[in-house]
Structure 1
């Protein structure tokens, strides 16, 4: 058993970065250390824990089984240490900290701009690092401590992961305005007669739009499948394709005369866009501060309100 007096706490911080980045150079950038310093720390960690931790694999470094086991406990332990050693409260004006967020490009489009403006004005020393992943991957990253917050459409969450609704979203349709009369809408027959652009993010197996149409005995003809919400509107320009997607992602097309935006001809179920985080961060003042601003932005409060919440 390792004697706690012989353990350098900084090694655990390096280990946290290595487990998250799985890349020595990126971990060094994240920690503001040199690559040799991180390599040296990894060598000490391997000796301390009697495990290689990261090994060469296809496409780069991969975690050993022992490293996977350590991810959750390490994140929880460091979260508690930061609370213990940090100031009694969170001072946004002077705080220097990096928060890791995961979200799709839809989340980045509708939430991130106002969130970043609120954070920059109140806490200029805060850095937000945003990554993207499937909802399953983001849930696992939150549970393992690889990200602080994830935004998306979540149903089931692992034990210890908390969730808060940011807003309710509905679907809308968009077509090239030249393909409909007087910027009108399509009825069910015309809708199904056309081909469609489908936004299918990662491993999601059942599309809710197609599931709803199937209940009416219909089926869409898919011409193009893309993984990103933001590129989809550009794909229908100059074609007779139909895009059915989250209504907020069509906001920029509402006043664009080149496009017609309308309600779907079928009753598609809406969805709840939420934030998730691990309960280990509940008592972290900085994390709570960021969550408050995120919830304010999601609720549609103005920038001033989001900034003014508790400092």
Structure 2
């Protein structure tokens, strides 16, 4: 450590985390288990993260509860939540483990031998953009790493991140809550998909034709300020929704052979596939681009395995063929 104050802070942190004043009474390995349990908020997920058996983690948690004289993790409304004492420990624990790693040297992380499950919340659009590139990378670089994907709306994704139910949430987040960390993966634009017919055979879609056609809306909820309708409203227009559904992939397959029009993110056109003789056109009005981001809880920011996984996700999305976009 570069400064005496840093050493004092490091030792003081460890003393504060224990109910005993003598370090000989503290098994520092328990702090690693505590870090995983508080981050995952689930014993079985913490065991996967640590490469330990579930009974071993449960036994360690029992010792930690004894040490702190606090349950630390309790079930409430069908999910596990941190006690007030555990919430106070999270930043202190993160700082303490960081200081310990500075003393013993950088933590070694070997993806090839990592046994861990990562959980991602995203829509089928996100899955189509990410998974075809991500899974081959993981099978090559980290064959013992597994991935679980969940599907929820934006508020659900935020809750899953805050509750420790997922490691990453991929999507569009206009506002990030406290304790959220994230970065932009790419900026996306909208295109229109219609059946190939004489009306739009020239490759140009007029505003009149756009408004006359019945529309497919892809959204988790029927109402809400989606980017397309907000842009239309600013021009004094509205469209008629013939079908609202939450699945990007199914929506494209419903256009062929109908007069329906689908306004969709451009990267979704290639990865999700299309059936029938459909054509892709530019919207006849300006729709602002949106940023597709990867988000996580900041308590995971310095976890070496989590850092590695975020980088693999970024590489996978970056390898998506840009020629699929107009």
Q: TM-score, normalised by structure 2?
A: 0.71
- Counting only pairs closer than 5 Å after superposition, residues 206-217 of structure 1 correspond to structure 2 as 206-217=225-236
Aligned equivalent of 2:309, options 281, 284, 290: 290
Q: Given that residues 73 and 86 in structure 2 are in contact (C-alpha distance below 8 angstroms), is that contact kept between their aligned partners in structure 1?
A: no
Q: Deviations over 1:38-73 (max 9, x none)?
A: 999999999964699225x6xxx2457x65885795
Task: Give secondary structure in 2 for the equivalent of 1:116.
Answer: helix
Q: Deviations over 1:53-98 (max 9, x none)?
A: 225x6xxx2457x658857956984897699599722211112122
2:185 and 2:251 map into 1 onto residues whose CA distance is 23
Tell me how many residue pairs correspond in the alignment.
Answer: 293
Q: Deviations over 1:247-289 (max 9, x none)?
A: 1111258886511111111111111111112333332222222
Aligned to 2:285: 266
Aligned equivalent of 2:165, options 146, 149, 156: 146
* Consecutive unaligned residues in structure 2, runs of 5 or more: 1-16, 322-326
Aligned equivalent of 2:119, options 91, 94, 100: 100
Classify 1:154/1:132 alpha carbon distance in 2 versus 1 (closer, same or farther; 3 Å).
same
Give the structure with higher Rg (CA): 2
Q: Are 1:236 and 2:255 counterparts?
A: yes
Classify 1:168/1:243 alpha carbon distance in 2 versus 1 (closer, same or farther; 3 Å).
same
1:297 and 1:200 map into 2 onto residues whose CA distance is 25
Q: Given that residues 179 and 240 in structure 1 are in contact (C-alpha distance below 8 angstroms), is that contact kept between their aligned partners in structure 2?
A: no
Task: Give secondary structure in 2 for the equivalent of 1:238.
Answer: coil
Aligned to 2:140: 121
- Counting only pairs closer than 5 Å after superposition, residues 1-311 of structure 1 correspond to structure 2 as 3=19, 19=41, 49=70, 53-54=74-75, 61-63=78-80, 70=86, 77=93, 88-178=107-197, 180-182=199-201, 184-202=203-221, 205-251=224-270, 258-300=277-319
Task: Give secondary structure in 1 for the equivalent of 2:107.
Answer: coil
Cα shift at 1:221:
0.1
2:197 and 2:84 map into 1 onto residues whose CA distance is 54
Task: Give secondary structure in 2 for the equivalent of 1:292.
Answer: helix
Q: Given that residues 170 and 271 in structure 1 are in contact (C-alpha distance below 8 angstroms), is that contact kept between their aligned partners in structure 2?
A: yes
